[in-house]
Structure 1
Amino acid sequence: MRGLMIGERYRLDEPLGSGGMGEVHRGTDILLGRPVAIKLIKKAHIGDDEVVRRFLRESRITARLDHPGVPAIYGQGQIADATHPLDGRLYLAMQYIDGWSIEDLAATYEPLPIAWAAAITAQVCAVLHYAHQRQVIHRDLKPSNLMITSDGFVKVLDFGLATALGDPTQSKISQTGIPVGTWLYMAPEQFGGGNEIGPATDLYALGLVLHRMIAGAPLFEGRSFADTAAGHIFQDPSPLRPLRADVPEEIEQLVLHMLAKLPSDRPDSAYEVFRRLRPYATGLTDLPGAITSEPTATRMYTDVFACSAPLSASAPAFTRGDLDRARRRASGLARASKHGEAVDLLLDVADKAAMSFGANHSDVFAVRRAAAELMLGDGRYAEAADAFADLASDLARRDGKDDEQVLNLRQQEADCLVYASQPNLALAKLQDLMADQVRVFGASDNRTYELRQRISLLLNGIGRTAEAVDTLEELVAAASTEFGPEHGRTRALRNDLERMKKKL
């Protein structure tokens, strides 16, 4: 096929690879004189409505994703010439990526340095964050669908199986009933054919990619389809640190978090994964023959807005003195009622401190909490709720879910949700918190009493007064038994109860 013209514009050059429904060639756009990649639907699939639909969907979805981590689409069409050897074939012309697939890179440099595994995964997270914001789920992330240039920049390829959430015309399984995707990198929910496909599905696949880059081999390798499916659905993933001693504990915990069986148990977003990986994507060295650490023109351009450490190895580190000065400045801004500026400063400080001290350092958590509390004070209740939730989740991974500070952060999240006019969600979170506090502190602990009282007041506030009365009656009875009927706490609870009863 070499030398054939397509659409009177694109010339086919050498083949690059072949997949399930298409084959990819390097080509030349003779009009603009630039290299392109040309994807052709396979001859065997001409007339296969399902494959054609996927191919066209890939064109539309990829063209919508205007992100540097997604190849640009130049054109799409069908060859309609009975004399042409490729008559009837659909084609897609896109940006040519000169680089390595992550599959080849990981096989050549096995296992990859931790910094590069983190940097590659963080870049994919940036693409997923962009796509998920636009309700696009990739559904087929795997090392062979990710490419990296010699500058170290990652491109996410092949949106042929992508689905747009809320679009009923886009099926989640093939017409044959066989789940679509690549078995080794499919999430448990993809094997069931249900309706749970969402952003967490991509995060599971990305967790498998990260595990493969670090461990040197994929999970569940060399199994049949049935064994692979069973592994994804039932088998716990292998922790990374027993396999490789230099793996930071935070990365091991992150991978396990991404590989949770239930979508609801995985990280909340691609941004959360990005934020947790970013401190480890530093000190990137050459991978000879593949990636250079030199300050290339592209790196120089992007470094202007880089969130990670500057390219120069001689750049000064962020110190404890820098942290203290920034916190004092944030306090001054807050006193001057410049809460927005104070929050932005603290979030920037938290990022810099995480890169210097580690994401799990207590000072990093303290700065993040201060920023969340300023959001609350500034009336940014929904943002504050998200910030407290992220803090609770991250701290639980470090100190355990029963740590008192974790429980306090969960309560602060619920308080913010009340202020953000989401009382029902706040109530659900407080009820979950109550079950954990009873288990950790006991039913008669002051903190437990206060939380039960808070729940009753919230029930009353949202009009569920009868439930609020029942809750308070149980609490009054418990307090009377524990402290006596005339104890101050018992009397205060009884007064609240009497006021509520007047509403019935």
Structure 2
Amino acid sequence: MADTRLIQGRYQLLDLIGRGGMGEVWRARDESLGRHVAVKCLKPMGRQHEQSYLRVLRERFRREARVAASLQHRGITVVHDFGESEGVLYLVMELLEGRNLSQLLEDNRQHPLPVAEVIEIAEQVAAALAYTHRQGIVHRDLKPANIVRVADGTVKICDFGIARLAHDIGFSARLTGTGIAMGTPHYMSPEQIGAQNVDHRSDLYSLGCVLYEIATGAPPFDMDDAWAVLVGHRDTPPRPLRPVRPELPEPFERVVLDLLAKDPEDRPEDAAELVRRIAALPPLRADEPPRRTPPEGRLPPMGASARLSGPPRLPGWARDMTTGSKAAGTGPLQPPPDPAAALTGSWTEPWAVGPGGAGPRRTVPRTAGAERPPPPELVAELAGRHSEGLRLARLDRWAEAGEVQRAVVAERERILGPDHPDTLASRYEVAFALARLGRPGDALREFARTAAGRERVMGPEHPDTLAARQETAYVLGRLGRHFEAHQVYTAVLAVRERVMGPDHPETLRCRHNLAFNLGRLGRPEESYDMARDVAAARTRLLGPEHPDTLVTRYEVGYALGQLGRWTEALRTYQAVAAARARVLGPDEPDTFAARYEAGICLGRLGRSAEALELYRELVGDRTRVQGAAHPDTLRARHGLGVNLGRLGRWEEALAEARDVCAIRARVLGADHPDTLVSRREVAVGLGWLGRWTDALAVYRDVAQARQRVLGADHPDALASRHDEAHCLEQLGRSAEAVELYRQVAAVRRTRGTRGHRIPPN
């Protein structure tokens, strides 16, 4: 390794990631594009080598690096650059945030991985091999350490071309006294051991060894002596897998044993055939044992993205667009109790009940515009109009409710003053209606004014003041300002626990919302712990099937999903859906919501056929109850389309995405976030069908819309620009892609210097 930590004046080496037989791997920063990358530095040649040999070596390195850089597949690590610096040959690759399969087994204490994960890994690696083998490229050193599961669930193969380079230039280790060039003994094919010609079927054998190990916990020939391992590969039939792991599907065991055939002619013909065989596997049994929770700080299990059938699933860069909406927090799910009775007394009466029906209010000083008490009949009329606004809200007629309350606010402000509790009660309802109408920015302004007025008049610890502050936190979360929301929720909760006690319904509601917000801050363990405790308290106080208890159990399911514990999440959502059907009725929106989330879990567990059936039924039920154009009906149709894609039915998936997109554009507007999600799903489908030129046009359309609506530096707008660059890469327009990546990186750097506060871990 050269002494300098700056390669070619561009790549700043930061941390040593690993060291191996061929050199070192560093985490580095690309100073030109402002992104983090991995830099593999191959060992510099000693002086004992002749210059002619070194010239040949460098040329072979360049040739193999070009081959590696030419590979463009979601399942293969991207090579960005290569060259030589001060005698060090280097490769610049994408930095993978994840764990390789060896590390995953270590995390699991060498226990086998869950069946759904094993099959998902098999499918993704087979798809990547099918691509590379079509290019005439053989890996030669496929092993668990060279297969990485990225944080979003994508599985990537590393070191394509480098293994062949190692073989060509003599870097590979050799067995003492044998003269046999080695890969890694536990994953070598018999033809490698016998120094025979190696083709793509050697990679299939190595993949069989990898799958055998992650499915059973040990490689097929697990001996300490390297020679014994090689003899096992060459002469000994592997033991069947199912005596060790009976829950493995028998057809999958047959796939692995066929991959481990001694004669290459007896293995699957190619990786494409392997993909087809995996796609034809039957659905996994629903009673598969729950997966083991990894040690703290480890990556969550891969079950969040595993599936069992169909061709390769959605790429990681598109996956965030396939999960639909999540739990929305409770907030006040219903308008507050009708306060009409509280609005008919004298406004200066010191012990009148507050608008929320909770506790005394303070005497309100007379203000300008209210020198004399207002006429009682006018006060009564405004109270009646306020009640009418609440009635409209209970009917979900939020636009009308908001208009009624806005008019009442203006009148009450004129005759009572802006800080009168009755004025503030109507302003609170205006804010609530704005939030329900999808205008969180306007709602935030009105809730903040209400909270400030109530604090001045009623005091900071009055229940109505706390209610307004809590709703302020809720809309901050809706605006993505989760750290600010966290601060408000925490402050409100401290007061509620001290004043009302830990088991008061409003205290529990605040804790529920805080748990929800913790999940959005990327703190799923804390979110899960708090939601579980709130669910237990509500079960004890209200009963296991009270609607509030079920709301929190629903949130527990969401936190489990964030932790990758999809089997437990599925059970939770199914239980909530069944209880809501009994308590609320099978056609209630909350019942539908729990069924929808169960469908997401099925997809994440690789049970896409079951998810597809669930969404078909849900679409029918929501269409019957809510209408074909209702946003929730369209969300269920979106989930249906996603699972069609996961099953490889991309023509149908594309047609579904286009239809949903057209309806959303008509009902919600062309630039509504849900419409843009569907338009992006159209682009994903076009890409999977190889229609990259058409996909590029759609990705650009989505990027421009998000820039226009959200601003050029919004994370969603930047993600769309990244999608556009990826599409350009697929079309071979690398220079344009690099320029676009550079622009995105520059904007992200600018956003990072604006002093945004980072929430604590």
- Give the alignment's TM-score, normalised by structure 1: 0.54
**Counterpart-to-counterpart distance in 1, 2:101 and 2:114:** 13
Q: 1:293 aligns with which of 296, 304, 320?
A: 304
Structure 2 SS opposite 1:90: strand
The answer to whether the 8 A contact 1:185-1:205 is kept is yes
Partner of 2:358: none
1:181 aligns with 2:183: yes
Aligned to 1:489: none
The Cα shift of 1:221 comes to 2.4
In structure 2, the partner of 1:445 is none
- Any conservation in 2 of the 1:40–1:92 contact (CA below 8 Å)? yes
- Name the SS for the 1:136 alignment partner: coil
The 5 Å alignment of 1:10-25 reads: 10-25=11-26
Matched residue, 2:85: 79
Is residue 27–residue 37 contact of structure 1 (8 Å, CA) maintained in 2?
A: yes
Contact 1:37–1:96, Cα closer than 8 Å, also in 2: yes
Contact map agreement 1:124 1:155 (CA 8 A) in 2: yes
Q: Encode CA deviations 1:437-480: one digit per residue, 9 max, x unaligned.
A: xxxxxxxxxxxxxxxxxxxxxxxxxxxxxxxxxxxxxxxxxxxx
Cα displacement (A) at 1:317: 6.0
For residues 187 and 46 of structure 2, the distance between their equivalents in structure 1, rounded to whole angstroms, comes to: 24
Q: Which residue of 2 aligns with 1:265?
A: 266
Shift of 1:163: 5.1
Query: Which residue identity is paired with 2:106?
Result: A
Shift of 1:3: 8.0
SS of residue in 2 equivalent to 1:257 = helix
In 1, Cα distance between equivalents of 2:59 and 2:260: 30
Structure 2, unpaired ranges of 5+: 306-313, 325-602, 617-644, 650-761
Given that 2:112 and 2:216 are in contact with CA atoms closer than 8 Å, whether structure 1 keeps it comes out as: yes
Contact 1:45 1:51 in 2 (8 A): no
The residue that corresponds to 1:27 in the other structure is 28
Query: Where does 1:386-401 land on structure 2 (aligned, <5 Å)?
Result: none
Distance 1:57 1:112, change over 3 A: farther
What is the match of residue 132 of structure 1?
Answer: 133
Q: Percent identity among equivalent residues? A: 37
Cα deviation for residue 310 of structure 1 reads 8.1
Partner AA of 1:299 in structure 2: R
| 1:162 CA displacement | 5.0
Give the corresponding residue for 2:38: 37
The whole-number CA distance in structure 2 between the counterparts of 1:301 and 1:2 is 45
Q: Distance in 2 between matches of 1:107 and 1:44?
A: 34
**Contact 2:41-2:89 at 8 Å conserved across structures:** yes
| 2:192 corresponds to | 190
- Given that residues 186 and 221 in structure 2 are in contact (C-alpha distance below 8 angstroms), is that contact kept between their aligned partners in structure 1? yes
| In structure 2, distance between residues paired with 1:281 and 1:148 | 24
Q: Is 1:315–2:612 an aligned residue pair?
A: yes
What SS class does the counterpart of residue 100 from structure 1 fall into?
A: strand
Q: Tell me, yes or no, if the aligned pair for 1:35 and 1:96 is still in contact at 8 Å.
A: yes
> In structure 2, what is the equivalent of residue 65 of structure 1?
71
Q: How far is 1:159 from its partner?
A: 2.0
Aligned-pair Cα RMSD in Å: 4.0
Structure having the higher Rg: 2
Contact 1:151 1:292 in 2 (8 A): no
Q: Decide whether the 8 Å contact of 1:54 with 1:161 is kept in 2.
A: no
Check conservation: 2:23, 2:40, Cα contact below 8 A: yes
What is the rounded CA distance, in whole Å, between the counterparts of 1:129 and 1:172 in structure 2? 27
- Structure 1 CA distance for aligned equivalents of residues 254 and 282 of structure 2: 16
The change in CA–CA distance for 1:10 and 1:182 in structure 2 (over 3 A counts) is same
- Contact 1:2–1:14 (8 Å) recurs in 2: no
How many Å apart are 1:215 and its aligned residue?
A: 0.6
* Structure 2 residue identity aligned to 1:293: A
Distance 2:144 2:61 in 1: 20
- Name the SS of the counterpart of 1:155 in structure 2: strand
Q: Hey, what's the Cα distance between the residues in 2 that align with 1:311 and 1:213?
A: 23
**Hey, what does 1:106 align to over in structure 2?**
105
Please list, as runs of the form range in 1=range in 2, the aligned pairs for 1:285-434 lying within 5 A after superposition. 289-290=299-300, 291=302, 293=304, 298-300=318-320, 314-316=611-613
Deviation string 1:107-163 (CA, Å, 9 cap, x unpaired) is: 223210111111111101111101111110111000000101111101110124555
Instruction: Describe the superposition over 1:73-106 as per-residue Cα deviations: whole angstroms up to 9, x where unpaired.
Output: 22111113xxxxxxx1111111111111111112
CA contact (8 A) 1:303 1:311 kept: no
Letter in 2 for 1:144: A
Q: Contact conserved, 2:22 with 2:171, CA < 8 A, in 1?
A: no
The alpha-carbon deviation at position 72 of structure 1 amounts to: 1.8
Looking at structure 2, the residues matched to 292 and 250 of structure 1 have their Cα atoms a distance apart, in angstroms, of: 20
Contact preservation (8 Å) 1:136, 1:162:
no
| Alignment partners' CA distance in 2, 1:281 and 1:52 | 49
Q: Distance in 1 between matches of 2:5 and 2:213?
A: 39
Match of 1:252 in 2: 253
What is the one-letter code of the residue matched to 2:195? G
- Alpha carbons of structure 1 residues 99 and 251: separation in structure 2 relative to 1, 3 Å: same
> Is the alpha carbon distance of 1:235 and 1:225 closer, same or farther for their aligned partners in structure 2, counting shifts above 3 Å?
same
Q: Which amino acid is 1:265 matched to?
A: D
**Partner residue in 2 for 1:339:** none
Deviation at 1:9, TM superposition (A): 0.5
Residue type at the aligned position of 2:102: E
User: Distance in 2 between the 1:228 and 1:134 partners?
Assistant: 31
Q: How far, CA to CA, are the matches of 2:208 and 2:189 in structure 1?
A: 10
Q: State the 1:173 CA deviation.
A: 10
Q: Is the 8 A contact 1:139 1:161 kept in 2?
A: no
Deviation of the 1:232 alpha carbon: 0.4
Distance 2:35 2:247 in 1: 43
- C-alpha distance after superposition, 1:312-337 (max 9, x if no partner): 97531699xxxxxxxxxxxxxxxxxx
- Alignment check: 8 A CA contact 2:130 2:272 kept: yes
User: Structure 2 CA distance, aligned partners of 1:20 and 1:317?
Assistant: 51
Within 5 Å, which residues of 2 pair with 1:130-169? Answer: 130-162=131-163
**Aligned residue pairs: how many?**
312
Say whether the 8 Å CA contact 2:21–2:171 is kept in structure 1.
no
Equivalent residue number for residue 219 of structure 1: 220
Mapped to 2, the partners of 1:27 and 1:277 lie a distance apart of 37
2:41 is matched by which residue type in structure 1?
A: L
Q: Write the letter of the residue equivalent to 2:192.
A: Q
Cα separation, 1, equivalents of 2:70 and 2:164: 13
Instruction: Provide the secondary structure at the position in 1 that maps to 2:304.
Output: coil
Is the 2:221–2:238 Cα contact (8 Å) retained in structure 1? Answer: no
Q: Distance in 2 between matches of 1:112 and 1:17?
A: 24
Inter-CA distance 240–311: structure 2 relative to 1 (3 Å threshold): closer
